[in-house]
Structure 1
């Protein structure tokens, strides 16, 4: 009769762990890895374009006009390439010149257009803008930013982003309530400090983590002040008085995609 072969002794937990195949190494970085986005949440993005529509801005204005009807598709394609998805996109325009020289004609505002459903309305407003006026530099860019900040931002969506894009080749006038047309009284802060408070206020019109400001503007009064003090600002310096012919449409789309 053959003797029974005894069972091998049971592995201790420590022995089992030692025998297990090693886990692949994980690259260590200094950045915290964000958790995956919860499924089922909707993401809404509002964009306000503050556009200098004085004569030297004709090249960039012509680009925007030529591409207005394809803007939604181009933004979505750029976001898709970056692995981003949005469920709702709205755009509006604040066109500006110089209040001192042009009076009430210095600022033109559109409503928000929901894209792609209202592409025709957006294109129609943009195509109606004429590059003229402005007098001498600087222009009323800070007033345009103030009107953008106080836009009727969407409250829809589980997550939101508010993006303001400024295009100008001129420095900005200091804010001066005495030159404002009556229709703007109360809508534009009295000075730069008050405008800064409006941008930074966590209880203000913009979400602390959802706001973004993209400047295609010279290093000069107004714009350098903003980029040096405000949070969540990207500044692409332009040549003062030289138009924005060096900024192509693709750069604008990519900057928006990076900000979302």
Structure 2
């Protein structure tokens, strides 16, 4: 696992979620980035993998409340860091538990180009309902696999492909037998194959452009990822707490730091 380091930036870039005890130290496998050259254009794609099981109401409400201002908040954060984003797109993969919820375990959006399509992004997020999931764990690794296989942009002087996971539960081991037939070709059969997909220099992600930000508990799946994968920042969350301790400004700043 990467060595614990202090979180990069504590200032809130927007409204906070419900106040809670101080978070556990961030864990990161990212090297400290050099000062950002000014004048470069960035094409940034962000995929949010959001656990929408019953306990996740606190963070889901915070995301809904800030969806329409998300573009402005990220742009402000990046501008302060000397980064000029020419193109920003976001997409959402909402997940529950394929074992407990079947086909209702997954909802996927296309990429929304911001700010032109921020209404569509907000509408999709606001349509998500925190329900289902059964008992822990949930199908988070499947969501990560689908995120990795997103139709990423090839525009910009410098590209970033950012996957952000929000969950308060550990992840099921990958098991193709639990998936609908149409998903089996898009999700690796086991964790080793998922790791290979993330690390493959010839795969869907650029070796220098990929980033994974985990707001997830220390537990099966997420600790395995943060202990092995490159370019991962892990903010350990409280199991079962719906990420009520996670501040919205920390989310925006983590995205800004990853670009």
TM-score (norm 1): 0.85
Task: Give the C-alpha shift of residue 198 in structure 1.
Answer: 0.1
Report the equivalent of 1:161: 160
| Deviation per residue, 1:34-55 (Å, 9 max, x gap) | 7956x5x532000000000011
- Mapped to 2, the partners of 1:182 and 1:175 lie a distance apart of 14
Change (3 A) 1:175 1:236: same
Distance 2:35 2:244 in 1: 38
Aligned-residue offset at 1:116 = 0.1
Unaligned runs of 5+ in 1: 1-30
CA distance in 1, matches of 2:180, 2:100: 12
User: Per the alignment, do residues 110 and 251 of structure 1 end up closer, same or farther by CA in structure 2, a change over 3 Å counting?
Assistant: same
SS of the equivalent of 1:86 reads strand
Q: How far has the Cα of 1:186 moved from its partner?
A: 0.4
Q: Alignment partner of 2:84: what SS?
A: coil
1:55-134 to 2 correspondence within 5 Å? 55-134=54-133
CA apart distance, 1:122: 0.2
Partner of 2:140: 141
Once superposed, what is the RMSD of the aligned Cα atoms? Answer: 1.5
Residue in 1 aligned with 2:25?
none
Using the TM superposition, give the Cα deviation of residue 156 of structure 1 relative to its aligned residue in structure 2, in angstroms. 1.4
Largest Rg, 1 or 2:
1
The 5 A counterparts of 1:223-238 are 223-238=222-237
C-alpha distance 161-33 of structure 1, shift in aligned 2 (>3 A): closer
In structure 2, the CA distance between the partners of 1:35 and 1:221, relative to structure 1 (3 Å rule), is: closer
Shift of 1:140: 0.1
Corresponding residue for residue 208 of structure 1:
207
Shift of 1:158: 2.4
Partner of 2:257: 258
Partner of 2:44: 45
In structure 2, relative to structure 1, the CA distance for the partners of 1:251 and 1:36 (3 Å cut) is closer
Q: Secondary structure at the match of 2:75?
A: helix
Q: Deviations over 1:69-102 (max 9, x none)?
A: 0000000001111222111000000000000000
User: SS at the partner of 1:87?
Assistant: strand
Q: 1:42 and 1:53, CA in 2 relative to 1: closer, same or farther beyond 3 A?
A: same
Give the SS at the match of 2:219: coil
1:218 aligns with 2:220: no
Task: Report the TM-score, using the length of structure 2 for normalisation.
Answer: 0.85
**Quick check: 1:243 aligned with 2:247?**
no
Greater RCO (Cα-Cα under 8 Å, separation 6 or more): 2
Structure 2 residue runs of 5 or longer lacking an equivalent are 1-31
1:95-129 Cα offsets, whole Å, 9 max, x none, are: 00000000011011000000000000000000000
Shift in Å at residue 241 of structure 1?
Answer: 1.3
**For the structure 1 residues 42 and 247, does the alpha-carbon distance in structure 2 shift closer, same or farther, using more than 3 Å as the test?**
same
C-alpha distance in 1 between matches for 2:149 and 2:218: 25
CA contact (8 A) 2:165 2:215 kept: yes
What is the DSSP-based 3-state SS (H/G/I as helix, E as strand, rest coil) of the residue aligned with 2:141? helix
